[in-house]
Amino acid sequence: MMPGSTRELLTPATRMGVSIAIATGLYGVSFGALSIAAGLDLWQTVALSAIMFTGGSQFAFIGVIAGGGTGAAAFTAASLLGVRNAVYGMQIKQTLRPRARQVPMMAHVTIDESTATSLSQNSLAERARGFWTAGLGVFILWNLFTLVGALLGESLGDPAAWGLDGAAVAAFLGLLWPRLKGMEPIMIALAAGVVTALAVPLTAPGMPILIAAAAAVLYAVLSAKRGEQATEHGKRQEIDGGMQ
């Protein structure tokens, strides 16, 4: 009974979820230390990690705070990056069909890692196992190691002496880099960087990232319209060719 039970628990989805949870959770140490360096205290750091719980948004939040931005600007920047989780949530809800009482907890642990682990599985049962293993595993370990990092950050003293005052930006770039696949994402990132650099000396802290985000959204809207126009033009050519 025991060997069979062990095999049932350690399925490919759960093994993947555990490995991702450990790797991602350990990275929480850096967030905890950087949050302290940005000026948040221990309990603010722990609360932010537990409540916001999405790595990219958390790093964006403390990046704006570290740059002297307002709380409103930091929250807006974090929210823009958190929009993707809403898209993930729709995918997961449609795939797993959770019960109503499960939805609040599922929504909270719907992140890049839990979504990727779940959707990469073949069967519905494995998708559910992968989602919960990765989601809950990352949540527990991320918050645990955030606390460790925050405690270490408090003991380091002046963050500038250790280079932590600029580390939030470096950490965020580390999250961004793997997503730059293809020419279009690279060009958008470069354009956003130029817009940000131009806006820094002219606007209040926290505003450059919002302006760059708005420019990226505008580009996406214009690109979508150009795509629709090209499709309609192609259809008209097909119709005209068929009539001839």
| Model confidence, pTM | 0.68
Model pLDDT for residues 12-22, shown as the tens digit of each residue: 999 999 998 99
Ranges of residues in the chain with a pLDDT under 70 are 1-8, 156-180, 204-206, 209, 220, 223-244
Provide Rg for the chain, Cα atoms. 22
Model pLDDT for residues 69-118, shown as the tens digit of each residue: 788 888 887 887 787 788 889 989 999 999 999 999 999 999 988 998 89
Q: With contact defined as beta carbons under 8 Å apart, do 80 and 107 qualify? A: no
* Nearest CA-CA partner of 111 in 144, 65, 72, 142: 142
Instruction: Show the tokens assigned to 114.
Output: 């839990």
